[in-house]
Amino acid sequence: MSEDKEAQENELLALASIYDEEEFRRAESAQGGEIQLCLELPPNFKLLVKGDKTAEYNVCFLPPLVLNFELPADYPSTSPPVFSLSSKWMTKAQLSSLCQRLDELWDENQGFEVLFMWIQFLKEETLNFLSIQSPLELYRSSIKGGGERRKTDPEAPSLGQMSDPRAVVLMDPHSDPLPQLLDFDEAQRQRAFDGKVFCCGICFSDKLGASCLCFKGCQHVYCKVCMTEYFQIQIRDGNVQCLNCPEPECTSLATPSQVKQLVDEELFARYDRLLLQSSLDLMADVVYCPRHSCGTAVMVEPDTTMGICSACQYAFCTLCKLGYHGVSHCKITADDLRSLRDEYLSATPEGQKFMEQRFGKRVVQKAVEESFSRDWLKENCKCCPRCGTNIQKVDGCNKMTCTSCKQYFCWLCLGALSKVNPYSHFNNPHSPCFNQLFHGVDVDDDEFWSDEED
């Protein structure tokens, strides 16, 4: 008996030294404990969800198998460990097969410690033993009779089939397993990310993932200090649609939850409000009441130019935002002729025809006659590389800012510039515009140089 007790103590101490506290927890009042085993999934492992709709999800982690055990006084000389095996995603039949295999391993090694052998088998061979391959099929709940009911799992044991009482299915049969599996996968991915070291693409400092932010669309990583400052500047400037990855030409956007982690409540409230407004602005069937005291969002019926505000009952033209005028042309002020000219010149043939119908062909012709010629525009303006807006450079350096979409770009090569450090384009020896920030700019010698320096 003393030899068994010594062997048990040595085995438990060995497990405690091999596995961390989250994997192995020793029982306080008995010779036993709990082991959580995360299976090593192959690359590109998928969950296939069947039900009313079929969908696939990529996962890197599944909830662990949990082995609870207690060592009898005559283990390992005579009796095997008393155990139970539980899971949140395996079926009763699969867990029962694993329990039987653990019994077989004990029979093959009776008289020796088997816990480590059991753990290695469960962790490394479970998928092959149970023939589990990608995609792993799940059966989503369907709503019947006023409540959720899980569809019958074809792998679940029926009467007469093997069902081990030590096999415990932790998933509620009336619940949908998918949300729990995806939440666990997301949490484990974040945990793995937090423990790695990354080089910030802005300040070039090495920091743990816990101090970094990863854009989900492109997987580019930057430290939270740099991204906090970047988000704050963009939100204060009202550029909530421009919270994308600072990597040049990358279009991955930060999620609202990522923004909320890095800015204070007041700034996030402004971000949330402007984001909603900009989203409504992009909807073709949503306009705003033009009355300054109202501004309520108004849904517009298709193929009509009349909007009626639900708050103040104001009927207005959705094109010119004045009182509704039926089939009459929209009125335009002298101050708006310049904008009308620019819009008409840059419009497609279909757009030009629409403007002639909206304002009247004579009004449009007058605006165009007073405008600059197309040759002048071609010689003196360049198009924003992001939105195509005509930009005229009056003075200053060659780092430009689009007046429409706020994109930074180089006047010389029309390349998009970094939103965080736009001047790096002119400081990089490998850039075609190296040291040409002021190329072509007329420099006033009296302003920049003294007589002595000459």
- Lowest mean per-residue pLDDT among 196-200, 294-298, 444-448: 444-448
Report pTM.
0.53
Residue with the bigger pLDDT between 196 and 448: it is 196
354-395 pLDDT, tens digit each = 777 777 776 677 666 665 555 566 777 889 998 888 888 888
Indicate which residue of 38, 397, 410, 413 is catalytic.
397
* Half-sphere exposure at residue 16, Cβ-oriented, CA atoms within 13 angstroms: 11
pLDDT at 103: 94
Q: Does residue 401 form part of some domain?
A: no
Residue that finishes a domain, picked among 152, 185, 218: 185
pLDDT recorded at residue 159 = 34
Which residues have CB under 8 Å from 425's CB, separation 6+?
399, 410, 415, 417, 418, 431, 433
- 430 vs 302, which has greater pLDDT? 430
223 with 256, same domain: the answer is: yes
pLDDT tens profile 273-302: 887 777 666 655 777 788 877 878 788 877
Under 8 Å between Cβ of 401 and 436: no
Residue 330, domain extent = 288-374
Q: Residue 209 in contact with residue 179, Cβ under 8 Å?
A: no
Tell me, yes or no, whether 176 and 232 share the same domain. no
Q: Note the pLDDT tens digit of each residue in 17-29.
A: 998 888 899 988 8
Same domain, 166 and 253: no
Pick from 374, 396, 421: which residue ends a domain?
374
pLDDT digits (tens, 9 = 90+) for 213-271: 999 888 899 999 999 999 999 888 888 877 889 888 888 888 888 898 899 988 888 88
Q: How far is CA 377 from the centre of its chain?
A: 41
Assess whether 122 and 30 both reside in one domain: yes
Listed residue (141, 171, 160) closest to 49, CA to CA = 141
Is 397 an annotated catalytic residue?
yes
Asked whether residue 7 is assigned to any structural domain, the reply reads yes
Of the residues 239, 263, 282, which one is the last residue of a structural domain? Answer: 282
How many structural domains does the chain have? 3
Instruction: Label residue 319 by pLDDT band (50, 70, 90).
Output: confident
State the average pLDDT for the chain.
82
Mean pLDDT of 44-68: 86
